[in-house]
Structure 1
Amino acid sequence: MKNIRNFCIIAHIDHGKSTLADRLLDVTNTITDREKQAQILDSMDLERERGITIKSHAIQMDYEQDGEKYVLNLIDTPGHVDFSYEVSRSIAACEGALLIVDATQGIQAQTISNLYLAIENDLEIIPILNKIDLPNANPEDVKDQIVDLIGCDIDDILSASGKTGEGVPEILEAIVARVPAPTGDPKAPLQALIFDSEFNSFRGIVAYIRVMNGEIKKGDAVKFVNTGKEYQADEIGVLRLTQEPRKSLSTGDVGYIISGIKTSTEVKVGDTVTHRDNPCAKGIVGFAEVKPMVFAGVYPIESEDFEDLRASMEKLKLNDASLTFEPESSMALGFGFRCGFLGLLHMEIIQERLDREFDMNVITTVPNVSYIAHTKKGDKFEMHNPSEMPDPNSLDFIEEPFIRAQIITKSEYTGSIMNLCMSKRGMMTNQQYLTSDRVELTYEMPLGEIVFDFYDKLKSISKGYASFDYFLIDVRPANLVKLDILLNGDGVDALSTLIHADNAQTFGRRMCEKLKELIPRQQFDIAIQGAIGAKIISRETVKAVRKDVTAKCYGGDISRKRKLLEKQKKGKKKMKQIGNVEVPQKAFLAVLKLD
């Protein structure tokens, strides 16, 4: 056990952590030349295309130093703010963390938040300066930033380059020297933490575990503490590039267990695995239930695909524990699911994965956050959907979630970022210069305002330099109204939104204009209206496609033409009563991109 080292990598998005992980695998000869490819731990096509890590991956390396053999378990983590839940699980399974900072960009917001997670879990931090081979690297300044952040000595900071491999052997030596060996009692009852899981269509569910105490052998009868279910450990093993079966796993090991579980609800990430006959006293603590930030309806395009969509969502939830969903129905879209996501990127990734991995074509409604409604009777309940809002007569007030946003940027972009935050109803609480040209802005703002396009706008204003991180602080009363979109007087529930009263008028007008462009012309006029309660605040009309019925009249009395036009008018009126307006899928997506 004293020769095992479990560590994870924490970094902001795009600071080169997947490339550095490749070099660690190279130096320890974990992968052969034939298996080599860039970002080898990013196994999804989606991760490679976008250059981001979405899933945390675990891999075991063998390393020899001074004649001693060591086993190093690396758990790779994502860097984007939307996947911070993945990071928290990886951190719970480790004793040490490599803190990677880009020598050209310096410390960014996500680095700080993930670092605090690691410090809370008492991990040993090894600071590393990456990309030192780049001509615009600024190692001295960035080292000073790291010293200010974690209070280490300047000599503790390692310099490396994931691209050239420079400094990688020193990193491995530092892992062995600085990261503590796992502590635990090999003789105690089995206690293992599930930190990830995935679905294999041939073998059922594969759970990834970190053994905290005791030992597990192949064929043991095991029990999952939270769900209370019992299974047989059909196969256990360690995670190399592929899964390698082993006879047993003991304290400190990271590996996997396959026990033929078919239903996804039986495996909860963060659960504890123990022996059936000799169980541990209690489960492992320190795992939070994930809290979704953004809610949206996901509906199959063909209504008969509903059951297929349910099966796909359950399999996807195994691989991504931060996805939550429950069934709901909509007048406009039929049956579907109300899903909770950690952010807009997370929502986009889930949509893309449903399409690629399960061949499911889905339509997504306007995303919103959860609000708390207080009625005049003194009741309160959570609203995930605008349609759940009580009628104005019984509603007392609504509370909305507020976040604290930390934005780190170059000082030249401060003014335009302040304007952006103010337009999103943000209040500045702090402004601090980290160096002469880097500033940290702290804002308190409503979560609902950053759900749409805040992140994209921030990146374009700052030419990609600003980094952004946020966490929930509390709920506060808000002046919110429900904005409905009516087509020929009928509400389209999938397009209704909860919005601040000051912004409702302009938003309603823009939405009607956008829908006018997107809804195809019918045989009758279509009135598109934005309404707050009974009050109409905006209107556009899609004109009817007309046939020239008077074309056959040459001269003659005007009453002949009038008769034909009246007949056409009656037909149009009748058609308007029975005709329904099809809203194209583009219309739902366009609402997200209103600008």
Structure 2
Amino acid sequence: MKNIRNFCIIAHIDHGKSTLADRLLEITKTVSEREMQAQVLDSMDLEKERGITIKSHAIQMDYEQDGEKYILNLIDTPGHVDFSYEVSRSIAACEGALLIIDSTQGIQAQTISNLYLALEHDLEIIPILNKMDLPNAMPEVVEDQIIDLIGCDRSDIIRASGKTGEGVEEILRRIVASVPAPKGDPEAPLQALIFDSVFNPFRGVIAYFKILNGSMSKGDLVKFVNTKKEYDVDEVGVLRLGMEPRKMLGTGDVGYIISGIKMAKEVKVGDTITHKERPCDKAIEGFEEVKPMVFAGVYPIESDDYEDLRAAMEKLQLNDASLTYEPESSAALGFGFRCGFLGMLHMEIIQERLDREFDMNVITTVPNVSYLVHTTDGETIQVYNPSGLPSANKIMEIEEPFIRAQIITKSDFIGQVMTLCMEKRGLMTKQDYLTAERAELTFDMPLGEIVFDFYDKLKSISKGYASFDYHMIGFKPAKLVRLDILLNGEMVDALSSLIHFDNAYNLGRRMCEKLRELIPRQQFDIAIQAAIGAKIIARETIKAVRKDVTAKCYGGDITRKRKLLEKQKKGKKRMKQVGNVEVPQKAFLAVLKLD
């Protein structure tokens, strides 16, 4: 046990952690030259295409130093703010962390928040300056920032390059010297923490775990504490590039268990595995329940695919524990699911994965957040979508979720960043200059304002330099209204949205204009209206397509023409009573894309 080292890699997105992980695997000869490729741990096509890590990946390496053999368990983690839940799980399974900082960009917002996660779990931090081979690297400046942030000595910071392999040997030596060996009692009852799981169509659910106390062997009867289910261990082993079976795993080991679990629901990430005969006294703590930030409805395009979509969601949730979903139905779109995501990138990735891995074509409704509604009866209800809102006379007040956003940007862009945040109803609480060039701004903002396009706008006004991180700070009262869209007086529930009073008029008008372009003309006039409660705030009319009934009258008395026109008018009136308006699919999608 004293020769085991468990560590993870934390960094901001694009600071080169996957490339550095490749070098570590190469030097320890975990991956042969034939199998070596760029970003070897990023197994999804999506990860390779976008150059980002979405899932945490665990891999075991052997390393020899001064004649002693060490086992290094590395967990590579994502860097994007939407996947911080993955990072919190990896940190719970480690004793040390490599903090990687790009020597050309310096410290970014996500680096700081991941570092705090690691410090809360008392991990040993090894600071590393990456990308030292680039001509625009500024090691001294960035080293000063690191010393300010974690208070280490300048000699503790390792200068490295994932591309050339410089400094990688030193990183391995430092891991062996600084990261503590796992603590635990090999004789105690088994206590293992599940930190990830995947679904294999042939072997069922495979859970990845770290043993804190005791040991686990093939053939044991184990029990999952939270779900209270019992299983026989068919196979245990360690995670190399593939899975390697072992007879038994001891305290401090990271590995996988296959026990023929068929149902995705039976494995919970963060659960504890113990023996049926000698159970441990209590489950392991240290996991935060995942809190979805953005909610959207996901509906199959063909209503017959509902059951397939449910199966696809279950399998996706196994692979990505931060996805939450519950069934809901809509008059316009049929049956579907109300899903909770950690952010807009997360939502985009889930849509892509449904399409690629399960061939599911889905429509996603307008993303929104959850609100607290206090009614006149003294009740408090949580509302995820506009149709769940009680009638206006029953609402006392609505509270919306607020976040504290930390934005680190170059000093040149402070003005534009402030303007953007103020437009989104943000309130500035703090401004710090980290160096002469870079400032950290702290804003309190409504979450509902940033779920749409805030991140994209922030990147474009700061030319890609600003980094952004946020956490929830609670709920505050807000003047929110429900904006409804009516077609000929009938409400279309899928187009309703909860919105701040100041933005309602603008959005209502733009939605009406957009729908007028996209809804095909009928034999009768169609009125498109935007309403708040009973008050209409915008209206557009689609004119009827009409036949010229007076074409056959030439000359003659005007009353003949009038008689024909009156007859046509009656027909149109009758048609308007029985005719209904179909909203085409592309009209839904276009309205959802309104920024």
TM beyond 0.5: yes
Give how far 1:349 is off.
0.9
In structure 2, what residue type is equivalent to 1:245? P
Give how far 1:351 is off.
1.1
CA contact (8 A) 1:190 1:274 kept: yes
Give how far 1:522 is off.
3.4
Structure 2 partner of 1:518: 518
Q: Distance in 2 between matches of 1:177 and 1:116?
A: 23
User: Residues 165 and 500 (structure 1 numbering): CA distance in 2 closer, same or farther, change over 3 Å?
Assistant: same
What stretches of structure 1 of length at least 5 have no aligned partner? none
1:21-420 equivalences under 5 Å are 21-420=21-420
User: Residues 572 and 45 (structure 1 numbering): CA distance in 2 closer, same or farther, change over 3 Å?
Assistant: farther
TM-score (norm 1): 0.97
| SS of residue paired to 2:63 | strand
CA contact (8 A) 1:366 1:588 kept: no
In structure 2, what residue type is equivalent to 1:216? M
| SS of residue paired to 1:326 | strand
Q: Distance in 1 between matches of 2:39 and 2:504?
A: 45
In structure 2, what residue type is equivalent to 1:118? A
| SS of residue paired to 1:540 | strand
CA contact (8 A) 1:364 1:588 kept: no
Structure 1 partner of 2:484: 484
| SS of residue paired to 2:422 | helix
Q: Distance in 2 between matches of 1:148 and 1:591?
A: 47
Give how far 1:389 is off.
1.0
Give how far 1:360 is off.
1.0
Give how far 1:168 is off.
1.2
In structure 2, what residue type is equivalent to 1:68? E
Give how far 1:564 is off.
4.8
User: Residues 501 and 28 (structure 1 numbering): CA distance in 2 closer, same or farther, change over 3 Å?
Assistant: same
Q: Distance in 2 between matches of 1:311 and 1:21?
A: 34
| SS of residue paired to 2:433 | strand
| SS of residue paired to 1:152 | coil
State, as a whole percentage, how many aligned pairs show the same letter.
Answer: 80
Cα distance per residue 1:69-107 (max 9 Å; x no partner)? 111111111111111101000000000111011111111
CA contact (8 A) 1:407 1:468 kept: yes
User: Residues 564 and 237 (structure 1 numbering): CA distance in 2 closer, same or farther, change over 3 Å?
Assistant: farther
TM-score (norm 2): 0.97
CA contact (8 A) 1:483 1:497 kept: yes
User: Residues 48 and 574 (structure 1 numbering): CA distance in 2 closer, same or farther, change over 3 Å?
Assistant: farther
Give how far 1:592 is off.
4.2
Q: Distance in 2 between matches of 1:172 and 1:532?
A: 63
1:423 aligns with 2:449: no
User: Residues 523 and 164 (structure 1 numbering): CA distance in 2 closer, same or farther, change over 3 Å?
Assistant: farther
Q: Distance in 1 between matches of 2:384 and 2:524?
A: 35
CA contact (8 A) 1:524 1:543 kept: yes
| SS of residue paired to 1:314 | helix
Give how far 1:303 is off.
1.1
Q: Distance in 2 between matches of 1:265 and 1:393?
A: 41
Q: Distance in 1 between matches of 2:448 and 2:495?
A: 16
Q: Number of matched residues?
A: 595
| SS of residue paired to 1:101 | strand
In structure 2, what residue type is equivalent to 1:491? M
User: Residues 532 and 32 (structure 1 numbering): CA distance in 2 closer, same or farther, change over 3 Å?
Assistant: same
> Which stretch has the larger CA shift, 167-176 or 515-524?
515-524
CA contact (8 A) 1:426 1:444 kept: yes
Structure 2 partner of 1:589: 589
Give how far 1:584 is off.
3.3
1:502 aligns with 2:518: no
User: Residues 524 and 69 (structure 1 numbering): CA distance in 2 closer, same or farther, change over 3 Å?
Assistant: farther
Give how far 1:531 is off.
0.6
User: Residues 588 and 346 (structure 1 numbering): CA distance in 2 closer, same or farther, change over 3 Å?
Assistant: farther
Q: Distance in 1 between matches of 2:541 and 2:386?
A: 25
Cα distance per residue 1:92-124 (max 9 Å; x no partner)? 000011101111111100000000000000000
Cα distance per residue 1:22-57 (max 9 Å; x no partner)? 111111111122212111111111111111111111
CA contact (8 A) 1:62 1:70 kept: yes
Q: Distance in 1 between matches of 2:561 and 2:356?
A: 57
In structure 2, what residue type is equivalent to 1:160? A
In structure 2, what residue type is equivalent to 1:344? M
Give how far 1:545 is off.
3.7
Give how far 1:325 is off.
0.8
> Which stretch has the larger CA shift, 522-531 or 371-380?
522-531
In structure 2, what residue type is equivalent to 1:209? F
Aligned-residue Cα RMSD (Å) equals: 1.5
Give how far 1:298 is off.
0.9
User: Residues 118 and 585 (structure 1 numbering): CA distance in 2 closer, same or farther, change over 3 Å?
Assistant: farther
Cα distance per residue 1:244-299 (max 9 Å; x no partner)? 11111111111111111111111100000000111111110111111111111111
